[in-house]
Every structure is written in structure tokens, then in C-alpha cells.
């Protein structure tokens, strides 16, 4: 079950499957980014910005910057939580702090900057006003 915790942190449960691991049974590094992507998507959905909203507004989101630090490995069948917190919102960008946790242990942590672009020309565009207000309200640093 997904949840939005106090302080604006969103948490999504994730189970590690065989497809997520390398030959040694350890989660392959790029899959942490996939877990983070799911958490960001579900956070946006929980705020009312699902696929229909985004398509109707003729916009898309693209990752502009990402930095991840890996601390401990996750393994096959581990139960994890992928978290996302909005830490900044500008005219055309959303900045998030994210983590992959197992219990209280942080396995990976990162910062992701998402840029809003128009769907047709894939050029930067401002966030819709209603979205900007909602995201700023949901920001952990609002």
C-alpha cells in the first residue's frame, strides 16, 4: 500500500524479484532507478496528476539530473520501500529527494530533477498553475 507520510515523504512498497537481480542475486544498480521512478509516478498520482492529467495538459516529464549513492545491497525477495519527497519546485522543474530502504536501513539515496516539457516539441515549458501550487504545497520544504 502506498502512503504519504508526514513531512511530505511518499513511500511505495517494492518486492525484489529475480528479474531485478544480477547473477549473484543482488539488485542490479539500474533497478534502484526503476524503483525510484515508480515511487515518483505514484506520488504524482496521489496528488491528482495521473497519466490522463498529464496527457490532457500536453506535457511530459523528463529526468534532467539524477545522482544516486548506493550504501547496501538489496537481494532477491527483499521487501523494500521506495520513497520520494518533493524538495523544490520551480517554474518548469521538480526536485525530489528519493531513497530505497529496507526497514530503517537506507540502501540507496538520490536527488532527481524532473523537467516539464511540451509533448510535441519536447521543449521546456512551465508547470500548469494548479500543478505548481499543489506541488509547492506538498513540498517537504514548503
Residues 6+ apart with CB under 8 A from 55: 119
141 confidence band (pLDDT: 50, 70, 90): low
Q: What domain count does the chain have?
A: 1
Q: Which of 20, 22, 77, 118 is catalytic?
A: 22
Phi, psi of 29 (to 5 degrees): -50, -40
Residue predicted with more confidence, 142 or 123: 123
pLDDT exceeds cutoff 70 at 86? yes
List the domain range (segments joined by +) for residue 84: 3-138
CB 98 within 8 A of CB 42: no
Q: How many CB atoms lie within 10 A of CB 44?
A: 24
85: β partners? 9, 97
The pLDDT, as a whole number, for residue 116 is 96
Percent of the chain whose pLDDT exceeds 90: 82
Write out pLDDT tens, residues 3-53: 555 457 999 999 999 999 999 999 999 999 999 999 999 999 999 999 888
pTM: 0.90
Query: The CATH number of the domain where 76 resides is what?
Result: 3.10.129.10
Residues 6+ apart with CB under 8 A from 53: none
Phi, psi of 37 (to 5 degrees): -60, -45
Asked if 105 is an active-site residue, the reply is no
Amino acid at each position: 500500500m502506498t502512503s504519504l507520510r508526514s513531512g511530505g515523504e511518499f513511500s511505495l512498497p517494492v518486492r525484489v524479484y529475480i528479474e531485478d537481480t544480477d547473477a549473484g542475486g543482488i539488485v542490479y544498480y539500474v533497478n534502484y532507478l526503476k524503483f525510484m521512478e515508480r515511487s515518483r509516478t505514484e506520488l504524482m498520482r496521489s496528488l491528482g496528476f495521473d497519466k490522463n492529467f498529464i496527457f490532457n495538459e500536453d506535457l511530459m516529464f523528463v529526468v534532467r539530473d539524477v545522482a544516486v549513492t548506493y550504501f547496501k545491497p538489496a537481494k532477491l525477495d527483499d521487501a523494500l520501500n521506495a520513497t520520494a519527497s518533493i524538495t523544490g519546485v520551480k517554474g518548469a522543474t521538480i526536485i525530489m529527494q528519493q531513497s530505497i530502504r529496507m526497514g530503517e536501513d537506507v540502501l540507496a539515496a538520490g536527488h532527481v530533477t524532473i523537467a516539464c516539457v511540451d509533448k510535441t516539441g519536447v521543449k521546456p515549458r512551465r508547470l500548469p498553475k494548479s500543478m505548481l501550487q499543489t506541488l509547492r504545497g506538498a513540498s517537504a520544504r514548503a
